[in-house]
Amino acid sequence: MGRVPKPDLLACCTNICQTVLYWYRSLAEHFQVPLVLVDTPYVYGDAKPHHIDYVRDQLGELVEVAEKITGKKVTEEELHRVTVLAQRKGRSFGAGA
């Protein structure tokens, strides 16, 4: 299999356990790459507009960092396409597929 290549960017989310966040910080320091943390609020029931705005703004910052690192622009269409795919997969995973 070989080794995993050095990342250009690490991103993690606060919906994971605190220990994993420390792993990502350590990896970012080890590889000397940026770490972008997306803080997700715990939501009971349906997400409120301010929850969505909060996470959307952070994802926008993540996109900006990724664009700067890669030198490529992310189009709204591509971002929408990937988001739809991620939602579908998340739903199928949650359904036990």
What's the gap between Cα 75 and its chain centre?
17
Q: 65, 36 in Cβ contact below 8 A?
A: yes
DSSP H or E run through 56: helix 49-70
**Domains of the chain: which residue ranges?**
10-94
Predicted local confidence at residue 97, as pLDDT: 46
**Please, what sign has the CA dihedral across residues 40, 44, 45, 48?**
negative
Predicted local confidence at residue 95, as pLDDT: 55
pTM of the shown model: 0.74
What's the gap between Cα 5 and its chain centre?
19
Successive 10-residue mean pLDDT values, the chain, 97 residues: 87 81 93 93 91 94 94 92 88 64
